Chain A
Amino acid sequence: MVLKAFFPTCCASADSGLLVGRWVPEQSSAVVLAVVHFPFIPLQVKELLAQVHQAGRVGLAVLGTWCHRRQEAEESLGHFLEGLGTIFSHEPWLQLCREQGSKLWSCKATRRQVPPCPGAPYEDQVMLVFYDQRKVLLSQLHPPAALPDCLAGDAAPSAGGLAAVFDTVARSEALFRSDRFDDGPVRLSHWQSDGVEASILAELAKRASGPVCVLLACLLSLVSAASACRLFKLWPLSFVWSKLSVCEQLRHRLEQLTLVFSTQKAENPTQLMRKANVLVSVLLDVALGLALLSWLRGKDRIGPLAEALVPVADHVAEELQHLLQWLMGAPAGLKMNRALDQVLGRFFLYHLHLWISYIHLMSPFIERILWHVGLSACLGLTVALSILSDIIALLTFHIYCFYVYGARLYCLKICGLSSLWRLFRGKKWNVLRQRVDSCSYDLDQLFIGTLLFTILVFLLPTTALYYLVFTLLRLLVVAVQGLMHLLVDLINSLPLYSLGLRLCRPYRLAAGVKFRVLEHEAGRPLRLLMQINPLPYGRVVHTYRLPSCGCHPTHPWGSLCRKLFFGELIYPWRQRGDKQA
């Protein structure tokens, strides 16, 4: 196998010295992490490597020598470097050499011991792969290589392929902590040797985050304790809370904030990303909510909105009345059963009349209610949208009631029809065996059964028409509510921090690597540049997507149509409690 030497681009202009890194025998690759410069004491170099080994559990060694020729005649340096091979024995011993200011490199990898297979050369062919150490250190491979548990003993985890390079660089962070301004025993060249990277803002944020997290965690625990109070678990209140989507959304947000401000540190990068995504999502939500609030207050839009609400509700009720009158007549030229038609029509009209009176009763309070709702927008746009969805549900409650009446009536009719149809054919439903069996009926049973069947069949069009009309209205309202819930879900689950990271720092989220062949001359070793291949946006969203509320319709289309046909009630939103049940 060709020997691959992974060389950091920052060391390409460094002075001569020793190459320090990790040798991966399975892939025959040498990952160079730093260059140790003269003068050094071999014992101190070995101590440093042992320290890094303890800190990161990665076995480093001196891999070879690096020679950067400044003048033409530096033969003595060459001999000196060769002599070092006897002090730090490593198989194979790498010798990299570069002329000053030229792009020509020469590499040699020698083996002192007898090679395992006869005929194999004492010198291996070397391929140089340059990598940007800082980017490789900061990046995270997706999917991460399945590493064995790092706490298990001293064994260096063996990640497959190129993930080993990333892993090695990530674990050797202790090696990069010293820069050239430190007066340490060993002088190294690596990506931070010109000065350790740090940011004042990041340090301040780290110091401040401790007490802030503790404070907010206390506040949030108080709020959650108050909400878990037994007063709210009494029957009418608990039923109302479970039906309102605002409560669901608030609970979801509370959970997310508890996660973000918990005093426990994130264990792995995925958890850290999740925390960051949640924080950015909450901040965006609140910012959008405040923008909505300022827009509402700006031109004092609440007053006209409240004034327009009652006439709109009245208009809707009037339209419904017209619809019912139309159904009571001869809708679309169909001939209805007059008596049943009148009964159903009058029943629904009375219900509508009650509803209009209720709206008129509420009208003085509407403006106050809207003002408070507008105030709730500072908790976030999602809360405002949930409240809007709940208000729509409350205002169209009469449509819901009509739908339930129509569906129940239609369902009863269908049940009766199916059972009497079986009687008509001389069969019955065997509850014990859960199948249809033949049955011999008496004459009077058959007579009454057939009579009832005929009545139900002729009354079917009327009931079916009422059911159809109210189901369509209900589905319209459900669709509008569904759109709002979709928007809330989108804001809840979109991983904005990850998307921003992918946009601004694409090397942080790596899907893999890509290689570019650098200038090549015959007789010289092959030089490649390894760059990070960033994760595509679709995969970023898929991997870091936040869990949403869980309140979206879960019916497949087939079962929905079946339920509609048989008149079973459709509950579009499964609340969290139902899902667990």
Chain B
Amino acid sequence: MEDERSFSDICGGRLALQRRYYSPSCREFCLSCPRLSLRSLTAVTCTVWLAAYGLFTLCENSMILSAAIFITLLGLLGYLHFVKIDQETLLIIDSLGIQMTSSYASGKESTTFIEMGKVKDVVINEAIYMQKVIYYLCILLKDPMEPHGISQVVPVFQVSTEQLSKVFSPKKICYLSPFSAFLLLLMFSRNVNSSCQDYLRTPDSYF
């Protein structure tokens, strides 16, 4: 079963969230990020080439122009391959683990799989970014040395503030059990049955 909704991220770009329900024990959430805009690409290329042309008129060396072309090409390839993320996918498999895949614009895919035995808890962290408060979902991993310690905090894709602020008061930091956290993700899904929806409508009583 598939479902799609669109949101906006903190910079105003359009995000699309796709939910896939494979079986009661397996779900996939796919977040598509805004594409590379032609406007910004043209702006950067023009700036670099104008600067190179300016240097060329000063130095009268044509190597500068070739170098500028190479720099633009290599920079674009590097940006597409290492920086620009096209899509982020979260696959949750019951009793196996959680898999996070990031696909880059050049086609590269980087996957991380966290086994269920290593997951200590799932939390929502709030952070201050410029003048806004943003919320993001994190997975806490167990520390093999210390039974009560946390070895790593792994952020999953960032959830837009508008959605979360409808559910609970942004001032509280919400600490959820893994089941509730998955319910939070399922909250975006229309397949949640009515009892769960009632549960979510009264957040203050729960928290």
Show the binding face of A for B, using Cβ within 8 Å: 1-2, 4, 27-28, 125, 127, 129, 160-162, 512-515, 517, 520, 526, 528, 533
Contact = CB atoms under 8 A, between A and B. Distances in A.
B22 A520 contact: yes
B126 to A, nearest CB: 30
A2 B95 CA distance: 7
Contacts of B95: 1-2, 4, 27-28
A216 to B, nearest CB: 42
Interface string B118-129: 100000000000
Interface stretch (B23-31, B40-48, B53-61): B23-31
5 contacts: A4-B95, A129-B96, A512-B112, A514-B99, A517-B91
A459 B5 CA distance: 80
A514 B98 CA distance: 10
B117 A526 contact: no
Contacts of A129: 96
B94 interface: yes
Give the interface centre of A515, A520, A533 by most chain B CB atoms within 10 Å. A515
Count class of interface residues, chain B: 10 to 19
B22 A517 contact: yes
Contacts of A162: 115
A143 to B, nearest CB: 10
Given A514-B113, A515-B113, A533-B111, A526 B99 contact: no
A125 B25 contact: yes
B93 interface: yes
A162 B115 CA distance: 8
B23 A526 contact: yes
A564 B160 CA distance: 55
Contacts of A161: 97, 115, 117-118
A4 B111 contact: no
Q: Which 10 A-B pairs have the closest CB atoms?
A: A514-B111, A161-B115, A526-B23, A1-B95, A2-B95, A2-B25, A512-B113, A520-B22, A161-B117, A526-B26
Nearest to A162: B115
B198 to A, nearest CB: 25
A528 B23 CA distance: 12
Contacts of B26: 127, 517, 526, 528
Interface in B117-174: 117-118
Nearest to B1: A522
Contacts of A528: 26, 93, 96
A517 B96 contact: no
A513 B101 CA distance: 12
Contacts of B99: 514-515
A24 B4 CA distance: 38
Interface string B190-207: 000000000000000000
Contact of A4 (B23, B28, B96, B117): B96
B9 to A, nearest CB: 26
Nearest to B116: A161
Nearest to B101: A514
A513 B117 CA distance: 15
A7 to B, nearest CB: 15
Interface in B68-125: 91, 93-97, 99, 101, 111-113, 115, 117-118
B39 to A, nearest CB: 33
A473 to B, nearest CB: 33
Contacts of B91: 515, 517
Given A512-B112, A512-B113, A514-B113, A2 B22 contact: no
A28 B115 CA distance: 14
B22 A526 contact: yes
B46 to A, nearest CB: 35
B115 A515 contact: no
A511 to B, nearest CB: 9
A520 B23 contact: yes
Contacts of B28: 517
Contacts of A4: 95-96
A514 B118 CA distance: 16
Contacts of A513: 113
A528 B28 CA distance: 13
Contacts of A160: 115, 117
A515 B23 contact: no
Nearest to B28: A517
B112 A515 contact: no
Nearest to B112: A512
B116 to A, nearest CB: 8
A158 to B, nearest CB: 12
Nearest to A515: B99
A512 B96 CA distance: 13
Contacts of A517: 22, 26, 28, 91
A127 B111 contact: no
Nearest to B20: A517
B25 A515 contact: no
A125 B117 CA distance: 20
A260 to B, nearest CB: 34
Contact of A515 (B94, B96, B117, B118): B96
